[in-house]
Amino acid sequence: MAGTGPALARTERITSGEATTALKVALDKGSRAAVGALGRRDGFFGDPRVRIPLPPSLERAESIMRRFGLGGHADELILAMNRAAEEAVASALELFVEAVRRMTVQDAKAILEGGDSAGTVYFRRSTEEGLRQRFLPIVRKATSRVGLARHYSAYAEKAVPFGLVKKEHANLDDYVTQKALDGLFLVLADEERRIREDPVSAGSAIVRRVFGGLGR
């Protein structure tokens, strides 16, 4: 949606109170759907869009491990990373609810007149660092149970100065946490677009009025 022209003219016929209420309802619904989809068993592991692979620096090691019949160790780590993300994302809803509560009329107007994922951009700006702090200890606890994860982190930190491992991939817990955040906001953006495209599915009269009035 553009911020000028017919779309803007239609938003001017919607009161600021209506716009804010509709967005709060829509974003609350979308965030609950995203957290519900990912914060459960196989939410990450079973979804190709967000399934977390081994860090790129381990790809060669993975192929060697599989060649020598040690693929089970790689599979264990991949599963542990995705289970960690699922457990972490399940804790996200409280921060999303708080971000919706704090939304101002100005925020609502910018989101309403923004692109199809403007609400997700607002969520990311408002919650990402808080989510990172919440996710990291959960991820760390989950990966600590896997021996290969401990060996990887010890190796990777020493390999960074030699250019063998990217700095952002050196700490496995940081890597999984970032992937969990990326996956969560990806699915949240999909949910937001779906509600914008089909406001009737939101099951709310105010959402139908505001988003239906904007059109496409």
In a domain, 167, yes or no: yes
Cα separation values, 61 from 83, 87, 158, Å: 22, 27, 16
Look-up of token digits 């677009």: 193
Number of compact structural domains in the chain: 1
In a domain, 89, yes or no: yes
pLDDT score for 150: 63
In a domain, 183, yes or no: yes
In a domain, 1, yes or no: no
pLDDT score for 151: 58
pLDDT in tens, the chain (216 residues): 334 444 443 445 567 777 788 788 888 989 999 999 999 999 999 999 999 998 876 666 556 556 655 556 678 888 989 999 999 999 999 999 999 999 888 888 888 888 889 999 999 999 999 999 999 999 988 888 776 566 566 555 555 554 545 656 557 888 999 999 999 999 999 998 888 787 776 666 666 666 665 554
Taking the C-alpha atoms of residue 173 and residue 115, their distance in angstroms, rounded to an integer, is 32
Provide the residue range defining the domain that includes 169.
6-214
- What string of H, E and C letters represents the secondary structure of the chain? CCCCCHHHHHHHCCCHHHHHHHHHHHHHHHHHHHHHHHCCCCCCCCCCCCCCCCCHHHHHHHHHHHHCCCHHHHHHHHHHHHHHHHHHHCCCHHHHHHHHHHCCHHHHHHHHCCCCCHHHHHHHHHHHHHHHHHHHHHHHHHHCCCHHHHHHHHHHHHHHHHCCCCHHHHCHHHHHHHHHHHHHHHHHHHHHHHHHHCHHHHCCHHHHHHHHHHCC
Cα separation values, 146 from 73, 76, 141, Å: 9, 8, 10
Q: Count how many Cα atoms sit within 13 Å of the Cα of residue 153 in the half-sphere of its side chain.
A: 14
Among candidates 189, 21, 188, which has minimal Cα distance to 108?
21
Among candidates 34, 10, 39, which has minimal Cα distance to 22?
10
pTM: 0.80
